[in-house]
Amino acid sequence: MHHDKVFAGHQGVKRTRDLIKLNYFWPNMDRDVETYVRQCESCAKFKVGRHPTAPLGELPETTSPFEMTSIDICGPYPETKRGNRYLLTFIDHFSRYPEAIPITRQDAPTVARALVTEIFSRLGCPQALSSDKGSNFMSELSQELCKLLQVKRINSTAFNPQMQGKVEKFHLRLNQTMSHYVNKYGNDWDEFVNYALLVHRAIPHSNTRYSSFYLLHGRQMRLPMEDDLTTGKFLKGEPGDNRSLIQDHIDTLADPLEEAYCVVRENNKEGRER
């Protein structure tokens, strides 16, 4: 259930184990998970070999979410019935929180519209946005959009092309996850993007040791396969109680989240030094 269902995404041994450990533990769990994943026929069929990666170089240090973000285009894919052929991908360098938006074209108006309607309107605007020198990202329209929203534009080559490494690694994982579920023609891939995003946001990242969902939202994601269906405490109070309950919730979030940010800063620093 935590490996081959569409919400789990056929992750590797470590990521499947990390996903399960969010809620469960049993004796010999590591061995059982490894055995199950190694015997997965779909994983054997779609397994992607490791590719050597260049060192990341000297990247800007980030201390909180949305200080530095990157965007890129993935594709072209087979055209879907909705006319989509590309993915606009976005990742936050601090939390590793990813977004992937199916788009029909990779021109400047389409990219700008997707950024505003699908990312900035829901998550807020980042302080800085890096991209390559592609015309769709470096266009006058995109520059004017960032100026209007007070988002600093950064050309990824200013810090070496390796700055886009986080996004490109995400492309690889996203494509591998979707490959387990698309039809034989591959032209329904846009129906599975959000399922793939769900699991990538829920699993603790190997560098930060936290899930990107938690670092951005201050709570762990409840997954569809979990048994815990307890009612949220805000629904249990009497009429008029919600104000104090909300403040209690804010207070309980603040300290653990700031502590998590401190841990992530150290882990990200160690990751850059390796």
Supply the pLDDT for residue 141.
72
Average pLDDT, the chain: 78
Residue positions counted in the chain: 274
The H or E element containing residue 102 is: strand 98-103
Confidence of residue 194 (pLDDT cuts 50, 70, 90): very high
What average pLDDT does the segment 69-77 reach?
91
Final residue in a domain of this structure, among 153, 172, 202: 202
Check which CATH number belongs to the domain holding 146 and give it. 3.30.420.10
Does residue 80 form part of some domain? yes
Residues 27 and 145 in one domain: no
Final residue belonging to a domain, choices 183, 202, 221: 202
Q: Which of 180, 202, 224 corresponds to the end of one domain?
A: 202
- Do the Cβ atoms of 96 and 207 come closer than 8 Å? yes
| Residue 229 reports pLDDT greater than 50 | no
Residue 238: what pLDDT?
47
Q: Which residues contact 207 (CB under 8 A, 6 or more apart)?
A: 96, 267, 268, 271
Q: Which residues pair with 86 in a beta bridge?
A: 103
**For position 56, what pLDDT does the model report?**
46
Structural domain range at position 31: 6-47
Lowest mean pLDDT across 65-74, 129-138, 157-166: 157-166
pLDDT, greater one: 8 or 173: 173
Burial zone of 103 (CB within 10 Å; 0-12 exposed, 13-18 middle, 19+ buried):
buried
173's CB contacts (< 8 A; 6+ apart) are 200
Most confident by average pLDDT, 16-25, 67-76, 245-254: 67-76
